[in-house]
Amino acid sequence: MGALGGAAASGVGFDALAAAAKAKPAAAAKSMEVKTFKSGCSICPNFCGIQGNVVNGIVKSIYPDAARAEVYNHGICPKGAAGMYNTYDPYRLKKPLKRTNPKKGPNENPGFVEISWEEAFSLVAERLRKIKADNPSKLVFQWGQGKYLIGDTNLKAWCGAFGTPNGVHRTTLCEAARHVADELTWGYHGHLPDLKYTNLLLNFGANYHEGEQTSRWLDWATAQGRERGLKTVVIDPRLSGCAAKADEWVPMRPGKDVVMVLAMCKLLIDAGTIDEEFLTTCTNSPQLVGADGKIVMDKDGKTPLVWDTVTNAAAAYTINVKPALKGSYTVDGKSVRTAFTVFAESLKDTTPQYAEEVTGVPAATIARLAATFAKEAHIGEFKEIDGVKLRYRPVAAYTFRGLAAKEFGVQNSRSLLILNSLVGAIDGVGGLLLHHPNNHPEYLEPAKCDYPPKRTDMQQTVFHPNSHHNIGQQTNITLLDPKSWGLGYVPEMQIFYGTNRAVSTSNAWQQFEGMAKTFNVVIDIVMGETAWYGDIVLPDKTYLESWHNAPAKTSPELGGIVAAIRQPMTNPFNLEQDANSIIFELAKRVGMRDKYIENLNKGWKLKEVTFKPGRDYTTEEQVATIWTDKTKKDFSYAKQHGFVAKGKLDAKGKYLHGVDPVFKGPGKPKFKLYADHFVGTYEKVEQVTKANNITRIDLPKYKIAYAPLPGKEHAFPTPHREAKDFPFYLITHKLMHRYQSGNTVNNAITNQALGSGLDTNYVAINTQTAKQMGINNGDTVQIETRVGKVKGVARLTQGVRPDTLAVSYHYGQWSPGYAPVAKQGTWINQVLELHPDVPSGMNSFNDTKCKLTKA
């Protein structure tokens, strides 16, 4: 399916929206009135603190809130500074709309008619009541970037009150595989490099100067670090924003990271430049592994055995035991090896020369980087901070989406955690700092592998056993044939809040097919593609128009944020409702208001100031209730300051809250260099698959995905193995001035405001490659994959590998409800193959292969 055509493209029958677009904002007051508002940006998950300057009710400028510099952001990005354009976008939705044409498709004119809020609430509530009485699971509530507006907590509380398990958010479209790799390795997720002390940062495809979580702290901390001599090396097929600012750019072939990382691991092990103390005491490296790949247990069946070098026998790791890190032994007549030895031996063939062949990075470069990483790690050294003697390891190998957005995203991401662990750069000064290790001990056990599934997104089922973060792209695929996934019901209705999921997902047209099968209610600020498939469309307020309990980030130096808010600065279109008030009203009309209130109290963990049953709450009252309970400060403080932060961490709080107290020494759980629980998970998958005759599961692939150690096979995703006639690697990325397609942050309008050239994207082609193919700058080119074809404009650059094409996301949108500027550029997701990572369900955005021709 190509560009939108026919009636819809010409906007026929789109009168309601077109008329609304011409409506003038409310007249400003005559007298001069200047106000400033402390609030938070919601355009991306950096949640920067902002100050809005408002003259006569019009937001004239947005600056960083200077008070947040101590906490997180010293500045804001161009999107944040231009954020008011989303609010003043004349293409905003202003009235509820009802579809009159039941057929759904890109070329189907929905025949939207304006309706009153009363009619909209009544229609939606009636349908919800019927579904709730029949089977609440038949309702799916999907949210995306919008969750940052009113928060996951409210949405989960609402779904819980309704009784549907189907609350689905977006993490598998961003970074889920990295989180799951963390969880399966050290029991929780989230890590950052300790850039205050890091001297060498190896960045495998993290793109934080352009668009990523924690970007605004990473930007600032990297710049500060460079002032004192921090070196950064970026390993990425494309000269990203981070690569352009780095000391060295290593253009690696897409998808092959794991091989380069493992080759570096081999070099470190062969050279003996590893932190044996850390590996032996904090990781499961010394645990003994049997021929079945499982850890050998003591007689109790649950205590791992190590080889005690004192008694020269297998033993549980207790106070007097000194475990051997390496070696092969015999226990009860059976050969066993330490997990570390299993890992070291698995790397036998992963030489730098082999890595050069696979990754395109010269063996000498890999060897140099490994040696420098080891040297700069200062293995064995300590640093005293605040009178505390701490492990000093000022190196970090870091990634975000680079290693995650792959078919083997968990394994790729795990390889990097292992590289850091080899030199002890985990929770050491200057290394990777982990967020609450072992917070979820169950993540270090085999997964449950539920079947049949309860949820439409297959979370934590046999299909994606470790998907703890929902699976954003799955619901619309399930809808195509629910029975074949074992789902015991057919979903009837979807609510979409602040997400344009189908556009944001690989193999995007498949998503729209799924969406066409349900009754859809869409809460958003503009008529995006999701709303085009809506039956009822409800206009939301932007983050400059409404109250929110705002998520907020901090640096690793601080204990976190107690509470933060966003507050309304303007309301140019006199909108009546926001997402929060919409779902509250629906809860009331469905007869579940008090249950929703009860769930809000539980979800927000309110203790003293709580929501009371039997009454309504405006959005401001909701925000004030939560604020007051969390901060114990009057709401007037929130209006004046916008946030309250926890204090600065001392050295103990920063470095000694995690790995050392949780993993170090005898009798404690361990950082899993060797993922023995993967063996147990695979066994369950096999058992459940065979017992239920599940044909959708390809067991050999699951076996590879659940190998207990990352290996070279994880560098060969399906398209790399199968699409042999497609010579180019196709990768995708975000841009600083463009972030996501969720319409609560309507980038198209912002980009137009930011200047020419930013309102479209290009196909980045290596200059030499393009010349050989007779392609010039500005030529129209065609990209063809096994999924489809799309056109784009060539941009010749030395900043991409000769065998790779790079295209940014979220351009070329097709909904007739957008400003025309949104439709420029290439919507690349429609031609990407989707082969989700098995454990996490993560989308494989960077694995597709393609052909390139001059159009």
Contact set with ligand SF4 (CB under 6 A): 41, 43-44, 46-48, 76-77, 79-80, 215-216, 739
> C-beta of 89: minimal distance to ligand SF4 in Å?
16
Q: Which residue, 43 or 685, has its beta carbon nearer to ligand SF4? A: 43
User: 521: closest CA among 565, 598, 585?
Assistant: 585
Angle at 539 between CA 536 and CA 545, to 5 degrees: 165
Burial environment of residue 91 by CB neighbours within 10 A (0 to 12, 13 to 18, 19 or more):
buried
Q: Which residue, 79 or 468, has its beta carbon nearer to ligand SF4? A: 79
Residues sharing a CB contact under 8 Å with residue 118, sequence separation 6 or more, in sequence order: none
CB 645 within 8 A of CB 562: yes
> C-beta of 670: minimal distance to ligand SF4 in Å?
37
> C-beta of 47: minimal distance to ligand SF4 in Å?
5
The CA distance from 358 to 113, in Å, is 57
Q: Which residue, 48 or 252, has its beta carbon nearer to ligand SF4? A: 48
Q: H helices of 195-301, where?
A: 215-227, 241-244, 257-271, 276-282
> C-beta of 77: minimal distance to ligand SF4 in Å?
3
Q: Which residue, 41 or 597, has its beta carbon nearer to ligand SF4? A: 41
> C-beta of 409: minimal distance to ligand SF4 in Å?
23
Q: Which residue, 49 or 556, has its beta carbon nearer to ligand SF4? A: 49
Q: Which residue, 72 or 249, has its beta carbon nearer to ligand SF4? A: 72
The CA distance from 122 to 341, in Å, is 65
Residue nearest to ligand SF4 (CB): 80
CA 649 from centre of chain: 27
CA 51 from centre of chain: 27
Q: Which residue, 47 or 204, has its beta carbon nearer to ligand SF4? A: 47
The CA distance from 293 to 280, in Å, is 19
Q: Which residue, 191 or 216, has its beta carbon nearer to ligand SF4? A: 216
> C-beta of 67: minimal distance to ligand SF4 in Å?
15
The CA distance from 204 to 370, in Å, is 14
The CA distance from 22 to 821, in Å, is 16
> C-beta of 88: minimal distance to ligand SF4 in Å?
17
> C-beta of 749: minimal distance to ligand SF4 in Å?
14
Q: Which residue, 92 or 216, has its beta carbon nearer to ligand SF4? A: 216
> C-beta of 429: minimal distance to ligand SF4 in Å?
28
Q: Which residue, 216 or 414, has its beta carbon nearer to ligand SF4? A: 216
> C-beta of 181: minimal distance to ligand SF4 in Å?
25
CB 210 within 8 A of CB 437: no
Q: Which residue, 143 or 702, has its beta carbon nearer to ligand SF4? A: 143
DSSP helix/strand/coil, 549 = strand
CB 515 within 8 A of CB 104: yes
> C-beta of 745: minimal distance to ligand SF4 in Å?
7
> C-beta of 75: minimal distance to ligand SF4 in Å?
8
CB 612 within 8 A of CB 603: no
The CA distance from 141 to 120, in Å, is 17
Q: H helices of 379-458, where?
A: 401-404, 409-422
Q: Which residue, 622 or 740, has its beta carbon nearer to ligand SF4? A: 740
Distances (CA, A) of 438 to 157, 200, 445, 649: 26, 27, 11, 20
Distances (CA, A) of 787 to 601, 830, 833: 46, 8, 6
Q: Which residue, 50 or 355, has its beta carbon nearer to ligand SF4? A: 50
> C-beta of 554: minimal distance to ligand SF4 in Å?
14
CB 670 within 8 A of CB 664: no
Q: Which residue, 48 or 230, has its beta carbon nearer to ligand SF4? A: 48
> C-beta of 338: minimal distance to ligand SF4 in Å?
45
Give, rounded to a whole angstrom, the gap between the first and last alpha carbons of the chain.
17
User: 355: closest CA among 235, 233, 482?
Assistant: 235
> C-beta of 46: minimal distance to ligand SF4 in Å?
4
CB 433 within 8 A of CB 217: no
Q: Which residue, 47 or 627, has its beta carbon nearer to ligand SF4? A: 47
Q: Which residue, 81 or 246, has its beta carbon nearer to ligand SF4? A: 81
> C-beta of 549: minimal distance to ligand SF4 in Å?
16
The CA distance from 353 to 356, in Å, is 5
Place of tokens 């055509």: 5
> C-beta of 44: minimal distance to ligand SF4 in Å?
3
Q: Which residue, 77 or 235, has its beta carbon nearer to ligand SF4? A: 77
- State the chain's maximal CA–CA distance in angstroms: 91
Burial letters for 254-285: b for 16+ Cβ neighbours within 10 Å, e otherwise? bbbbbbbbbbbbbbbbeeebbbbebbbbbbbb
User: 790: closest CA among 759, 735, 831?
Assistant: 831
Residues sharing a CB contact under 8 Å with residue 398, sequence separation 6 or more, in sequence order: 193, 201, 202, 203, 204, 206, 416, 432
Strand stretches in 804-846, DSSP E: 804-808
The residue count of the chain comes to 855
DSSP designation for 248:
E
